Structure 1
Amino acid sequence: MVTTLLVIVIIMAIAFDYINGFHDAANSIATIVSTKVLTPFQAVLWAALFNFAAYFYFTDHKVANTIAKTVVEDYINLEVILAGLSAAIGWNLFTWYYGIPSSSSHTLIGGFAGAGIAHALVLGDNVLEAINLSPILKTVSFIVLAPVIGALISVIITLIIINIARYARPSTAEKWFKRLQLVSSAALSFAHGGNDAQKVMGIIYVSLVAGGVLVNGDHMPEWIPLVCYAAIAFGTMSGGWKIVKTMGTKITKVTALEGVSAETAGAVTLGITEHFGIPVSTTHTITGSIIGVGITKSFSAVKWGVTYSLIWAWVLTIPVSATFAGILYAVIHYIFG
């Protein structure tokens, strides 16, 4: 039976995907805008197109399954999911307002886990019994690993490109790199759509199970991925200009060559992690990739003060979202309980 609370949860989940799109638009378009290959409007349309195109390729839903298993099934109800989504949306809007490129993935996981723990406390159970530590620890480890992998791959790609193009005329090389940026940004948007849309797919699926519409193990209804990919694409079209400025100019100055390297490295990293069902942060990945291309010039080319402030936001995302979700769960439980 479809209840009012279930409808609210599904609407909130779709809203989160939309917000994720404009919050993370900068990941795909920051370098292509900063190098003036495309205007901001053209760039968001380009990114949105490939965000949605991922719907036709990423059909295994491994990342969605990982997200759905963050909280143990016995501790999942619609109140838990609503609290987790509300906390995640709140943190995303806060970081977007201040231009901080934080992780939508981690705020969703933190919110979901924090609400599950609060539910266990209300029941008087051991809080560790409410969450599956394995997927959470794997996700937390990639707070460090994703940007490091992105940086290493971008350094390798940059050095390879520099050696291949070292005898080319600079003006000719620049023209080709700007064309290649269209391809690399499309690849990153494609990988971003495939990785990030799945996170809400998992949340909507467990909402339908918690609401009694589905039985755990049932095939995911086709409307779920279609709506999630559409929401993230529309969100991307709305842009995220404050974060674009941070990503495109404040970390390091990015040329067309370096834009190709960073975007390609980000796409490769996301493709690998999606294959293994690891819900990594697109934001962390592309930030690490941009740092990598900066390092190839010199360590001083990277504005480390900005980078350190970003890292603090990354570290705080999961605990802040979890705490906020726990408080919201207490309020929601009081209202609906």
Structure 2
Amino acid sequence: MPELTLIVVLVIALALIFDFTNGFHDTANAMATPIATGAMKPKVAVMVAAVLNLIGAFLSTEVARTISGGMIKEGEDGILITPELIFAGLIGAIVWNLITWLRGLPSSSSHALFGGLIGATVIGVGFQAVDYDVVMAKVILPAIIAPIIVGVVAFIATRLAYAVTRREVGRPDGRGGFRYAQVFSSSLVALAHGTNDAQKTMGVITLTLIASGYQTVGTGPEFWVIASCALAIAIGTYTGGWRIIQTMGRGLTDVKPAQGFAAETSTAATILASSHLGFALSTTQVASGSVIGSGLGRRGSTVRWGMAGHIALGWVLTLPAAGIMGAFAAGLALLGPVGIVLDVIIGSIVVAGIYWWSRSSRVTHHHLLHDIDDAGHVVRITKTPRKPARRDRKKVAL
């Protein structure tokens, strides 16, 4: 029993570390567009997102129940997965999260988690332990359908926003107000993100407690699990995740306030609906789809399809890549305590290597402010130059 208690503590700690990486990896989902348009300062934006992620984590537990009692089948003696395998799956998810963060790719933390758990379960128990009907219905199909639907909604919303505020001769178009509306819409996305993504870690910890016999099958997360996961994702969100914010804010398309507002409201509505239904949706995929849809909806806007292709490739690779990493870690974990120690050592070396590599091309909130200033500079230099005053002309002549 002492060994079991130790592994449970290790899994809970690792799950909270994953929750932390999920926070800074997915901050861009809510705050990339208001930062890109200058509606919110970067540090203010991540502070607001952190607080609302914290609040959102307390609002629903449907997604947590999907993970803790849906994906992995139950056997005669309870759920088939063991804490050691959950530990291995989390290692795969964390490593893949950090790799995509290093590349600035808004991949799905959710799918990294699912891939890691499935890969570890297949190695440790077998293919029959995974409930593929649940995985298909509540993970894969939403991942395919949701970005398309939210993209269409964002396209229509952007068209409507620009049609309603169409410029008339001699009158302003009224689109400046969308810059302030973005504060509300981006905050709603952050709240929605807390209702969906924080729950995935709650589900993992609950799954561990059920597998270890500390909690009965079919029960949801306890309050201390909800509170700790909410705090971990909030702290992670506050650290920024500036690389992915830069990609989402300007890498896919140049975002204007009305366009950003349309994208954010479409994202929030989709995520909140999925949380209510218990779908473990990728908020990253939804946010990326809405940004692309809004880019197509604004006349004169250009979507950078090359970057979109890279992001889509990351989506496709996330499940299998995290699954392979989780399977490798599970193979070591099955060796016993020695294998767990090897997992910790190898995982720590890989994480340290990624962090060291990131230092050579560091991205901070100052880079985002520089991007906004550059955009404003472009606007300023296109204005008709002012003729120098007579006094200025005399100075020039001298």
User: What TM-score bracket applies, with the shorter chain setting the length?
Assistant: over 0.9
Alpha-carbon offset, residue 217 of structure 1: 2.9
Q: SS in structure 2 opposite 1:101?
A: coil
SS of 1:94's equivalent in the other structure is helix
Report the CA distance shift for 1:297/1:178 in structure 2 as closer, same or farther (over 3 A).
Answer: closer
Q: Aligned letter for 1:250?
A: G
The residue number in structure 2 matching 1:82 is 87
* 1:49 match: 51
Which letter maps to 1:238? T
For the residue of structure 2 that corresponds to 1:64, the secondary structure is helix
Checking the alignment, whether the CA contact within 8 Å between 2:28 and 2:241 is kept in structure 1 is: yes
Letter in 1 for 2:289: G
- C-alpha distance in 2 between matches for 1:12 and 1:132: 24
What is the Cα deviation at residue 299 of structure 1?
8.9
1:84·1:115 contact (CA, 8 Å) conserved in 2?
A: yes
Counterpart amino acid of residue 63 in structure 1 = V
For each residue in 1:173-195, what CA deviation from the matched residue of structure 2 results, as whole angstroms up to 9, or x when unmatched?
31x11110000000100001101
Q: Distance in 1 between matches of 2:180 and 2:296?
A: 24
**Corresponding residue of 1:118:** 123
CA distance in structure 2 between the partners assigned to 1:190 and 1:279 by the alignment: 16
Give matches, 1:220-231, under 5 Å: 220-231=221-232
User: Does the CA-based 8 Å contact 2:67-2:207 persist in structure 1?
Assistant: no
2:13 pairs with 1:11: yes
Partner of 2:128: 129
Whether the 8 Å CA contact 2:81–2:211 is kept in 1: the answer is yes
Q: CA deviation at 1:90?
A: 0.5
- Alpha carbons of 1:56 and 1:82: their partners in 2 closer, same or farther (altered >3 Å)? closer
Cα separation, partners in 2 of 1:253 and 1:115, compared to 1, 3 Å: same
Contact map agreement 1:70 1:112 (CA 8 A) in 2? no
Structure 1 segments (4+ residues) deviating >6 Å: none
What is the letter of the counterpart of residue 95 of structure 2? Answer: G
**Matching residue's letter, 1:154:** A
Q: Partners of 1:309 and 1:219 in 2: how far apart? A: 37
Q: Is the 8 A contact 2:252 2:291 kept in 1?
A: yes
* Residue 164 of structure 2 corresponds to residue 159 of structure 1: no
| Structure 2 match to 1:105 | 110
| CA distances 1:280-306 after superposition (whole Å, capped 9, x unpaired) | 111100100000011113597110011
Larger Rg: 2
Q: Which has the higher contact order (CA 8 A, sep 6+)?
A: 1
* TM-aligned CA distance change 1:88 to 1:219, over 3 Å: closer
Q: For residue 332 of structure 1, what is the aligned residue in structure 2? A: 333
- 1:224 Cα offset (Å): 0.8
1:182-210 deviation digits (Å, cap 9, x = unpaired): 00000100001101011111100011112
Q: Aligned partners of 2:259, 2:301: CA distance in 1, in Å?
A: 16
Structure 2 counterpart of 1:145, which letter? I
* Distance (Å, rounded) in 2 between the aligned partners of 1:251 and 1:317: 20
CA distance, structure 2, for counterparts of residue 162 and residue 182 of structure 1: 19
Confirm or deny: 8 A CA contact 2:65 2:220 kept in the other structure: no
Q: Which residues in structure 2 correspond to 1:133-282 (within 5 Å)? A: 133-138=132-137, 139-167=139-167, 169-170=171-172, 172-174=174-176, 176-282=177-283
Of stretches 22-31 and 299-308 in structure 1, the one that deviates more from structure 2 is 299-308
Q: Does the 8 Å contact 2:259/2:298 carry over to 1?
A: no
Structure 1 window deviating more from structure 2 (74-83 vs 18-27): it is 74-83
CA offset digits 1:58-95 (Å, max 9, x no partner): 2xx11111122212234210111001101000100111
Q: In 2, Cα distance between the equivalents of 1:65 and 1:215?
A: 13
Q: Structure 1, unaligned stretches of length 5 or more?
A: 121-126
Counterpart of 1:39, as a letter, is: K
1:34-73 superposed Cα distances (whole Å, 9 cap, x missing partner): 1111111111001111111213432xx1111112221223
Partner of 1:96: 101
Paired positions, count: 328
Equivalent position of 1:123 in the other structure: none
| TM-score, normalised relative to structure 2 | 0.79
Amino acid at match of 2:88: A
Shift of 1:166: 2.0
CA deviation string 1:88-133 (max 9, x = no partner): 001001111111110000010111111110012xxxxxx3311000
Tell me the TM-score normalised to structure 1 length: 0.93
Contact 1:143–1:314 (8 Å) recurs in 2: no
Q: Alpha carbon RMSD of aligned pairs, Å?
A: 1.7
Report % sequence identity: 38
CA distance in 1, matches of 2:253, 2:53: 26
The residue type equivalent to 2:109 in the other structure is S
CA contact (8 A) 1:110 1:322 kept: yes
